[in-house]
Amino acid sequence: MVTTDVTDQETFRDIEHNLLVNVTFLFSSRQLHTNTNTLLLSLAVSDFLVGLVVMPGETLRQTDCWFLGDLTCCLYKYASFIISTTSVENIVLISVDRYVAICDPLHYPTRVTDRRVKLCVCLCWLGSFFYYTLFFKDELTEPGRYNSCYGQCVFVISYIAGIVDLVVTFIAPVTVIIVLYMRVFVVAVSQARAMRSHITAVTLQRSVTNTKSELKAARTLGGVVAMFLLCFCPYYCVSLAGDTSVSASSSAIVLYLYYFNSCLNPLIYALFYPWFRKTVKLIVTLKILQPGSREANVL
């Protein structure tokens, strides 16, 4: 089928792009080992897993009979929920990081420490794991309980559980993200005006440089958030409307758009971050294998 071929191509592109993001973060310059980039690494890992695990499984589930068995179906759905929710939580953490960096820069080094960032990332992944263990506890003990015939791979939750999941995984995170970025936008505008007014002051040159860097990071991560909202909102709108209000093809398109968000983040990094393009060049030309490459100046 044409749909399957196109989807497979998108899946492999997604895997390739996000693998490149992970390699870039893991093996590139030590200059990139910052708290913000630790959060971006966690986001990149979740994006990579979407391309490696979720999209191929969803392609099989949507276009063909599920022949991998009930247990594999259950584990696939379990993993896909965890990975997708962790991606959302990573974006929330990034928003908090940018909020503190822009709105309270003097306290940023003491509030956003390396240890706290790594702890938050671990809690992000573990929280999703335990949260969906509660949702899947019945099906994990009895795989295939909701399948009416062989070859199905479905997951059914109660109306109340669906509402709780909607609030926890979408409404609450989106509210936090929007509120924080509105605050960041207001502060960023005021700082930009202040920079234009005092740009000639020698004593402020270091502060101006740091502020410009923070504002640029905020704009880039703002692009990540914008794409997140663009891709996720249709899916949750359809979920709220119910399965009977839209066609099967429309539901599939909305679902793939939901997962396609993971393909867009690397493109945003490449578009806005010169260091990303430089590190990609180091990897493609195999210079990353040369001694001292981790100390290369990519900023």
Mean pLDDT, the chain, as a whole number?
A: 73
Question: What pLDDT is recorded for position 181?
Answer: 82
pLDDT-based confidence at residue 284 (cuts at 50, 70, 90) = low
Phi–psi pair at 151, nearest 5 degrees = 95, -5
Q: What is the pTM of this model?
A: 0.75
Tokens (6 digits) for 101: 């960096």
Tell me the pLDDT tens digit for each residue of 152-187.
Answer: 777 777 778 888 888 888 889 989 988 888 888 777
- What span, in angstroms and rounded, lies between the C-alpha atoms of 173 and 179? 10
Query: Is the pLDDT higher at 108 or at 280?
Result: 108
Burial of 160 (0-12, 13-18, 19+ CB in 10 A): exposed
Question: What pLDDT is recorded for position 123?
Answer: 95
Q: Is a pLDDT exceeding 90 seen at residue 129? A: yes
Tell me the pLDDT tens digit for each residue of 11-67.
Answer: 555 555 555 555 555 445 555 567 877 887 788 788 888 888 888 888 887 776 778
Question: What pLDDT is recorded for position 204?
Answer: 46
Cα 268 to Cα 5, 240, 280: the distances in Å are 25, 29, 14
Query: Is the pLDDT higher at 103 or at 220?
Result: 103
- What span, in angstroms and rounded, lies between the C-alpha atoms of 52 and 128? 19
Q: Is a pLDDT exceeding 50 seen at residue 202? A: no
Q: Count of CB atoms within 10 A of residue 213's CB?
A: 12
First-last CA distance in the chain: 45
For the chain, domains (ranges, CATH) are 2-295 (1.20.1070.10)
Q: Is a pLDDT exceeding 50 seen at residue 75? A: yes
Helices 248-272 and 35-49, axial angle in degrees (round to 10): 150
Cα angle, residue 231 at apex, residues 253 and 1 outer, rounded to 5°: 25
Q: Which of 90-94, 147-151, 232-236 has the lowest mean pLDDT?
A: 147-151
